[in-house]
Homo-oligomer: A and B are copies of this chain.
């Protein structure tokens, strides 16, 4: 699978991050989710070795093309849809979106618009002034007693939700469950074997079979589970035949 084209239109923008390690970790998180545009705003200098260490070599390409710009307005110039992230739900800052809701919107908007995901500094987050640039403000749901996320964790959750929203429906392959006919053939075989070895009463085999059916149905057998169980049944029959000859 190639990156969906829209990922190229999405940038992660870190406003005045304090720790180089978080820049590296954010680069890795973005890359994990198929995004590779990272912008760092502010005049601070960062330890490039620390950035590389935390991004790991696998996100080296993202790190190499990080754009460093002096201020946030320069960082945001080219974007048409800017999504800010905040942990503080001040009245003047809403309405708030969840990552999941905004991700749906971003997959659409990013098809032909440049989208910025804007994150504030680790300690203070985005200011009200910075949030005014934003077309939408996201609050990542968290336990109320402890709401401040690590910067790279916040980046990860946003990129993860966007990546998931971008996947075509049905990408999540449910395991291939056994068909009813396979199940019935298996039950027939189990009944034969268990009757043969005297586990089931031939007068009323269905008493225990009902329990066995309930157990197997509850566990949602895969096609390959059925094959294994039938293999065991066959082996019991074979062994009995050997013994009896």
Binding site for B on A (CB under 8 A): 1, 3, 25, 28-29, 31-34, 58-59, 94-96, 98, 100-101, 140-150, 152-153, 156-157, 160, 163-164, 167, 171-175, 222
Which chain B residues border A142 with CB–CB below 8 Å? Answer: 32-34, 163
List 9 A-B pairs, Cβ < 8 Å.
Answer: A3-B145, A32-B142, A32-B143, A32-B148, A34-B143, A141-B163, A141-B164, A143-B163, A156-B157
State whether A98 touches B33 (Cβ < 8 A): no
Contact partner of A1 (CB less than 8 A), chosen from B25, B140, B144, is B144
Which interface residue of A98, A144, A150, A222 has the most chain B CB atoms within 10 A?
Answer: A150
Docked CA distance A156–B161 (Å): 13
Contact partner of A32 (CB less than 8 A), chosen from B58, B147, B152, B163, is B147
Which chain B residues border A152 with CB–CB below 8 Å? Answer: 150, 153
Which chain B residues border A140 with CB–CB below 8 Å? Answer: 160
Docked CA distance A101–B96 (Å): 25
Docked CA distance A98–B58 (Å): 23
State whether B153 touches A98 (Cβ < 8 A): no
Which chain B residues border A28 with CB–CB below 8 Å? Answer: 150, 153
In the A-B complex, the 5 residue pairs with the smallest Cβ-Cβ separation, listed nearest first, are A95-B175, A34-B143, A153-B156, A32-B142, A1-B144
Docked CA distance A172–B146 (Å): 18
Which chain B residues border A167 with CB–CB below 8 Å? Answer: 141
State whether A58 touches B146 (Cβ < 8 A): yes
Nearest CB to that of A156 among chain B residues? B153
Nearest CB to that of A172 among chain B residues? B98
Docked CA distance A156–B155 (Å): 11
* New A-B pairs, 10, CB < 8 Å, besides A96-B175, A140-B160: A32-B153, A34-B145, A34-B146, A141-B160, A141-B164, A141-B171, A141-B172, A143-B163, A150-B152, A157-B157
State whether B29 touches A148 (Cβ < 8 A): no
Nearest CB to that of A142 among chain B residues? B32
Give the Cβ gap from A217 to chain B, nearest Cβ, in Å.
Answer: 17
State whether B34 touches A153 (Cβ < 8 A): no
Docked CA distance A172–B103 (Å): 14
Docked CA distance A172–B96 (Å): 9
Which interface residue of A141, A148, A153, A160 has the most chain B CB atoms within 10 A?
Answer: A153
